[in-house]
Amino acid sequence: MNHNCDFLIIGGGIVGLTIAHQLVERKISKNIIIIDKEDSLGCHSSGRNSGVLHAGIYYEPNSVKAKVCVSGAKRLRKWAIEKGIQVKNCGKLIIPQKSHLDSQLDILYARGKENGAVINFVDSKDIEKLAPDAKITTGRGLWSPNTAVIDSLSVIKSLQKDLESKGIKIINSVKDWKLDKKTSQIFLNKGVHIKYGYLINSAGLQADKIAHEFDVGFDYKIIPFKGIYWKLRKNCSININLNLYPVPDLNVPFLGVHFTPCANNNSIIIGPTAIPALGRENYKLLENIEYKNSIDDFAFLAKQYFLNLDGFRKYVNEQAFLGIPSFFLKSAQDLIPNLKRNQIERSNKVGIRAQLFNLRSNKIVKDFLCLKGEKSLHIISAISPAFTASFSFADLIIDNYLLKDI
Ligand SMILES: Cc1cc2nc3c(=O)[nH]c(=O)nc-3n(C[C@H](O)[C@H](O)[C@H](O)COP(=O)(O)OP(=O)(O)OC[C@H]3O[C@@H](n4cnc5c(N)ncnc54)[C@H](O)[C@@H]3O)c2cc1C
């Protein structure tokens, strides 16, 4: 069977699904096909993240992230409530884990205010009330009442159902396809082909490779960073029911090990780490290792380290070895000093960040990034908070690219 569509979306993660949702909602087209290589949706970042609806605090004002995070969070929350998906409104406390980090709170406060986030300073008494076991380092912290938590896989499943009920075709298990740019078609196995008017590449961890097939983005490469989670053991005496975050290293887009309540139950996850992975889908220790690629990635990261580009040495010293349990525990103890090794256990949750680097400038790409190709758009950086921001990010993509290109 062959298909003809206005928009072909490669990748049914949150980015692809919300673009399709907004194309339908805004009556731009209903003739949309989404293909995904996995047998079900949500197998990668969109179904494996922390589920935090971020409040818009961290991002440099005027960045794309800053423009879409606050409104995106409001929209996703509203959409989820309408669909009956539970949103846990537990807020977030950010505390400096070392006293020299106290001044960073002022930067975060200023950024948050400028980005439209609700945020205020709290003192020792407030911190003690909000999170009795949290470390009080300098007597100051930041409180974000609007940070919430949601089950990300429920969002993906519900969006899929919604889109399918509106006639959008979602084709799973498309492991292999070939592109013919000249005729604007892709060929699936068994002789099936899809002719498209416009192609949207929202393939997450693989998006740079697909962009390269369209002859765009050769200066960029995704390097995978593994996010391992631990969790508090059941009945452990640590008292926490909100998001507890450290002051992050603002040179890199990783927020540091933090505590997050799960949306659907009473468990508390700790993490994720951000350690270089041995493959883009290397979720388990020896699974999907990409030997050649990993050597290239590690050589590139070693260069970052030695040249100390973007303060990369600090990242390596503080975060690259958090896969080692004792280092991980120490990092968690920076927030909760009384936490003991026997109070935590490994969670089976693992996610992999699709972190983009600019190979020409050797810079880490901190913002979202879309590149235009022939009859196509390539979303090659959609890292956190792309889940939170998805509905607003989708509208921005439609307004700034799709409506101008079609
Ligand atoms: C550990 C971790 C924690 C995070 N925590 C948060 C958080 O708390 N809050 C937040 O807002 N964000 C968070 N994020 C970020 C967020 O999850 C991502 O920004 C978002 O999910 C990216 O969505 P996506 O659609 O671009 O990618 P994905 O979800 O990876 O979707 C891409 C899809 O493309 C498909 N695909 C890939 N290649 C092909 C191909 N060749 N052909 C067909 N299909 C293909 C894949 O199967 C996949 O389904 C976190 C991310 C990680 C890794």
Q: Which domain holds residue 161?
A: 1-86+150-218+368-406
Distance from Cα 383 to the centre of ligand 1, integer Å: 8
**What is the band of 309 on the pLDDT scale with cuts at 50, 70, 90?**
confident
Same domain? For 176 and 188 the reply is yes
Same domain? For 233 and 335 the reply is yes
Instruction: Judge if the beta carbon of residue 179 lies within 6 A of ligand 1.
Output: no
Instruction: Judge if the beta carbon of residue 96 lies within 6 A of ligand 1.
Output: no
Which of 110, 128, 145 is where one domain is finished? Answer: 145
Same domain? For 238 and 320 the reply is yes
Residue-by-residue DSSP string for 119-157: -EEEEHHHHHHH-TTS--SSSEEEEETT-EEE-HHHHHH
Contact 355, 225 (CB under 8 A): yes
Residue 129 lies in a domain: yes
Phi/psi class of residue 109: alpha, beta or left (left: φ > 0; alpha: ψ in -120 to 50)?
A: alpha
Same domain? For 281 and 391 the reply is no
Residue 68 has pLDDT above 90, yes or no: yes
Residue 185 lies in a domain: yes
Distance from Cα 281 to the centre of ligand 1, integer Å: 11
Residue range 208-237, pLDDT digits in tens: 999 999 999 999 999 999 999 999 999 999
Same domain? For 112 and 183 the reply is no
Residue-by-residue DSSP string for 58-108: SSPTTSHHHHHHHHHHHHHHHHHHHTT--EE---EEEE-SSGGGHHHHHHH
Contact 275, 320 (CB under 8 A): yes
Distance from Cα 382 to the centre of ligand 1, integer Å: 8
From 17, 21, 40, 49, the mutation candidate for ligand 1 (largest count of ligand atoms within 8 A of CB) is: 49
What pLDDT is recorded for position 39?
98
Residue range 3-48, pLDDT digits in tens: 999 999 999 999 999 999 999 999 999 999 999 999 999 999 999 9
Same domain? For 321 and 343 the reply is yes
Atom of ligand 1 nearest to the CA of 204: 27
- 235: tokens are 């009945």
148-150 and 140-144 strand pairing: unpaired
Residue 65 has pLDDT above 80, yes or no: yes
From 367, 384, 390, 397, the mutation candidate for ligand 1 (largest count of ligand atoms within 8 A of CB) is: 384
Which residues have a Cβ under 8 Å from the Cβ of 32 and sit 6 or more positions away?
5, 6, 7, 8, 9, 20, 23, 24, 168, 169
Same domain? For 275 and 382 the reply is no
- 390: tokens are 């998805």
363-364 and 140-144 strand pairing: unpaired
Distance from Cα 62 to the centre of ligand 1, integer Å: 23
**What is the band of 193 on the pLDDT scale with cuts at 50, 70, 90?**
very high
pTM summary value: 0.98
Count of structural domains, the chain:
3
Distance from Cα 128 to the centre of ligand 1, integer Å: 36
Distance from Cα 380 to the centre of ligand 1, integer Å: 11
Which of 113, 129, 145 is where one domain is finished? Answer: 145
3-state secondary structure of 158: helix
Same domain? For 182 and 118 the reply is no
The protein residue whose alpha carbon is closest to atom 52 in ligand 1 is 49
Total length of the chain: 406
Atom of ligand 1 nearest to the CA of 379: 26
